[in-house]
Amino acid sequence: MELRELRWFITLAETEHVTSAAAQLHISQPTLSRALTRLEKQLGVRLFDRRRNRLQLNKYGEIFLAHAIRALSEISQAEDRITTLVDPDRGVITLGFVESFGNWLVPRMVNRYREVAPGTSFELFGGAADAVVDGVRKGRFDIGLVSPRPAADDLQWMPIGRQSLRVAAPPGHRFHGRDSVALEDFADDPMVTLRVGYGLRTVIDGLFRDAAITQRIAIETTELSTLSALVGAGVGVAIVPEPPLELQPTPHSLPMLVPEAHREYGAIARQFGPVGSAAHRFLATLRADVANSDMYAVTPAGGTPGS
């Protein structure tokens, strides 16, 4: 069954007249009639009832018409998608990212790349670091933005920057008035943290594990905004990333005494790169921007990029 004959059938179903359909398709009437005969023979049923000089689509024809339209639509979408894969200016980039990057890092990157290729489209997916890594590995995402660097030999890693970690404490908490807070100070305080599988949770667990200190986890959540609200409500203390300059500072936050208290963030792709030309170009542009500027660095209020 040829694609052109599917298109011929759809036109014939719309007109229900061989002569009119043949004229629209710029083919001869016998050619269209033979194509219909071959199609009906292949399906084993008649698709039209013959009524004098006209055709009338029957129940078999109605079923086949619905599937023919759907099949041609899927093929058209596939053709468009393949075109975007080979044309970096019209491509679609699927970008997975840790949700806490959605309100600053992702907008910076999308706006920057649209200056380079304004015709590019993005499909954005936020989630836990583990989910983003799995999505890149399985090809659901062209590129992922995660923290920390995943332990994965089958993925390439491009470091972008780092965020210092701070302590968020409720109003009136004993931490206030200090210049900094050490991990040992958390021993007697309930903590609010992200769930296991989230990048920040991995970093924080590593800090406490290395210091041989047990966390007293009161509540686990999936969003930094919820975490901050819980801290503000007095549920517990938390360790949060230093916010970038364009975002409001984290309420009631204090620097950490631990010098290693930071999270590194970067981009991941499959070992041999993403499939599409647009995603390859995005990655190359990102690499050049990271090497030549600090546009993706966290800039604390009163600080310097990347501090």
Tens-digit pLDDT profile for residues 15-41 = 988 989 899 888 999 999 999 999 999
pLDDT band at 250 (very low <50, low <70, confident <90, very high): low
| pLDDT over threshold 80, residue 253 | no
Enter the tokens of residue 37. 């005969």
The pTM assigned to this predicted structure is 0.67
Range 252-289 burial, b when 16+ CB lie within 10 A, else e = bbbbbebeebbbbbbbbbbeeebebbbbbbbbebbeeb
Q: How many CB atoms lie within 10 A of CB 210?
A: 11
How far apart, in whole angstroms, are the C-alpha atoms of residue 99 and residue 252? 22
Q: How many CB atoms lie within 10 A of CB 79?
A: 10
pLDDT band at 54 (very low <50, low <70, confident <90, very high): confident
| pLDDT over threshold 70, residue 305 | no
Report the pLDDT value the prediction gives residue 304, as an integer from 0 to 100: 39
Exposed/middle/buried for residue 198 (C-beta within 10 Å: 0-12, 13-18, 19+):
buried
Enter the tokens of residue 67. 């599937």
pLDDT band at 251 (very low <50, low <70, confident <90, very high): low
pLDDT band at 80 (very low <50, low <70, confident <90, very high): low
Q: Which residue has the higher pLDDT, 190 or 302?
A: 190
How far apart, in whole angstroms, are the C-alpha atoms of residue 78 and residue 217? 48
Taken in order of first residue, the domains within the chain and their CATH numbers are 3-86 (1.10.10.10), 92-160+264-292 (3.40.190.10), 162-263 (3.40.190.10)
Enter the tokens of residue 141. 């995402």
How far apart, in whole angstroms, are the C-alpha atoms of residue 307 and residue 296? 12
